[in-house]
Amino acid sequence: MIAFIQQEAAEKVEEIEAKAEEEFKAAKETAEAANEAKTEFLRNMRHDFRTPFTGILGLTELMMVQETDPEKQENLGYIAESAKALLEHLNEIMEFIQIESGQLPILEKSFDLCALLDDIYKMMLPSVENKQLDFQFIIDKTLPHYVIGDTVRLQRILMNLLSNAIKFTDKGYIKLAAKVLRYIDDKNVIVQFIIEDTGIGIPKEKQHIIFERFNRLTSSYSGIYSGKGFGLRIVKQFLDEINGECDLKSTAGEGACFQVAISYKLPYIHEGI
């Protein structure tokens, strides 16, 4: 009798588990289908939004060239700048959605690290000079020229951190530096990237939330510092994906220093470790 009850109970458990597994599988398939539908919808929306905005921008710029009245030309300039800003916001939102959904593959290829850093410096220099800030660019002599890793993620990490630094700094300097933190062995190296500024800084009590999605540290500065809270969230996700680390040192009113450590493979055997 006891054996029969135990067998019946075991069969019931198996039945429940099988049913639960079927429900889980069905729910997973539904979620995946919904996610794919969302991705396709957003892809189409991007095209549907970009087309009219691009048309407005192109036509407005053409009218600016043809217009002789200074006041009307100035107003057309405002329209063009607004259209550009909306396009930039749209591109940022769509890119963020693409990144969040894991649609950006990790690339492992050999690249010139020093050349990439130099390109980033040149791209960010006009923004720094427009705010009359000093741009300190320091590459340690021991930094290997060529490493193997993801160039896209490194570029976005550094540019997002630099953009934030420039945005929140009104006087003083911006620093971009890179050095070898340590060689793991003759084929792997950890590189440290330093992004430092003399801006408004980040209060201690808010440093743990700055990498959260849609979080804006400067809600009290609404209208002064623009942004959607994507930049640092993307930095965190990219670092997580390539097993990188980021250390923040900052005091409110005294600037911020982000120290990013990323491990790279070497395309050759490094001697003299």
- The torsion angle over the Cα atoms of residues 29, 34, 39 and 45, rounded to 10 degrees, is 160
How much is the pLDDT for 227? Answer: 47
Closest CA to 163 of 172, 177, 150, 176: 176
How much is the pLDDT for 222? Answer: 46
Q: Radius of gyration over alpha carbons of the chain, in Å?
A: 25
Question: Helix or strand or coil: residue 187?
Answer: coil
Query: Is pLDDT above 60 for 225?
Result: no
* Confidence tier at 264 by pLDDT (50, 70, 90): very high
How much is the pLDDT for 228? Answer: 42
* Confidence tier at 162 by pLDDT (50, 70, 90): very high
Query: pLDDT by residue (tens digit) across 75-113?
Result: 888 887 777 777 766 666 666 666 666 666 788 899 999
Task: Name which residue leads in pLDDT, 99 or 118.
Answer: 118
**pLDDT-wise least confident of 5-14, 49-58, 150-159, 236-245:** 5-14
Beta-bridge partners for 188 = 185, 265
Beta-bridge partners for 260 = 193, 246
Q: How far apart are CA 70 and CA 68, in angstroms?
A: 6
Share of the chain above pLDDT 70, in %: 71
Average pLDDT, the chain: 80
Q: Does the domain at residues 2-100 carry the CATH identifier 1.10.10? A: no
Q: Class for domain 109-265, per CATH? A: alpha beta
Query: Exposure of 232 by Cβ count < 10 A (0-12 exposed, 13-18 middle, 19+ buried)?
Result: buried
Q: What angle do CA 134, 139, 143 make, to 5 degrees?
A: 165
In the chain, the largest separation of any two C-alpha atoms, in whole Å, equals: 101
Show me where the domains of the chain are located: 2-100, 109-265
**pLDDT-wise least confident of 47-61, 68-82, 132-146, 156-170:** 47-61
Q: What are phi and psi of 184, to 5 degrees?
A: -70, -45
Q: What are phi and psi of 233, to 5 degrees?
A: -65, -40
Q: How far apart are CA 251 and CA 203, in angstroms?
A: 6
- Mean predicted confidence (pLDDT) in 28-52: 67
- Mean predicted confidence (pLDDT) in 149-168: 91
Question: Helix or strand or coil: residue 161?
Answer: helix
Closest CA to 232 of 252, 250, 215, 249: 215
How much is the pLDDT for 193? Answer: 97
DSSP structure string for 93-147: HHHHHHHHTT-S----EEEEHHHHHHHHHHHHHHHHHHTT-EEEEEE-TTS-SEE
How much is the pLDDT for 190? Answer: 96
How much is the pLDDT for 152? Answer: 85
Closest CA to 148 of 272, 262, 258: 262
Amino acid at 149: G
Amino acid at 122: K
Share of the chain above pLDDT 90, in %: 33
Closest CA to 199 of 171, 158, 219, 235: 171
Query: pLDDT by residue (tens digit) across 167-222?
Result: 999 999 999 999 999 999 989 999 999 999 999 988 877 766 676 654 455 544 44
Are 270 and 183 within 8 A, CB to CB?
A: yes
